[in-house]
Chains A and B, each alone.
Chain A
Amino acid sequence: MNCGEGIDTRQIDELFINLDPIQAGGRLTTDAMKAVLAYGDGYSVCDHCTKPFRLDHISKPPLAEFHRDLASFLNMDVARLVPGARRGFQAVASALVKPGDPVLLTAYSHYTEFLSVEQSRGMAFEIPADDSHIITPDGAAARIEEVIKTTGKTPALMFIEQVDYQYGNQHPVSDLIKVAHQYDIPVLCNGAYTIGIMDVNGKELGADFLVGSGHKSMAAPAPSGVLATTSEWAETVFRTTGIKGDLTGRTFGVKEVEMMGCTLMGVTSVGMMASFPHVKRRVKEFDAQVQYVNRIVDALLTIEGTKVQSEYPRKHTLTRMNTTDSFDTVARTHKKKGFFLTSALRERGISGILAGSTRVWKFNSYGITSEQADYIAESFIEIAEKEGLACSR
Chain B
Amino acid sequence: MSKRSVDAVFQGLYLLTDIRGMLRDTVPYHQLSVEQKKEAEKILGKLEKQIAILKEELLA
Contact = CB atoms under 8 A, between A and B. Distances in A.
Nearest to B15: A34
Given A37-B13, A37-B14, A38-B10, A30 B28 contact: no
Given A33-B20, A34-B17, A37-B17, A15 B27 contact: yes
Interface string A24-40: 00010110011001100
Interface in B16-50: 17-18, 20-21, 23-25, 27-29
What DSSP secondary structure best describes chain B's contact surface?
helix
A113 to B, nearest CB: 32
A55 interface: no
A165 interface: no
Contacts of B25: 369
Contacts of B21: 29-30, 33
A27 B18 CA distance: 15
Interface in A336-377: 348-350, 369, 372
B17 A14 contact: no
Contacts of B13: 34, 37
Nearest to B9: A37
Contacts of A15: 27-28
A30 B10 contact: no
A367 to B, nearest CB: 9
Interface of B: 10, 13-14, 17-18, 20-21, 23-25, 27-29
Given A34-B13, A37-B10, A369-B25, 4 more contacts: A13-B24, A30-B21, A34-B14, A37-B13
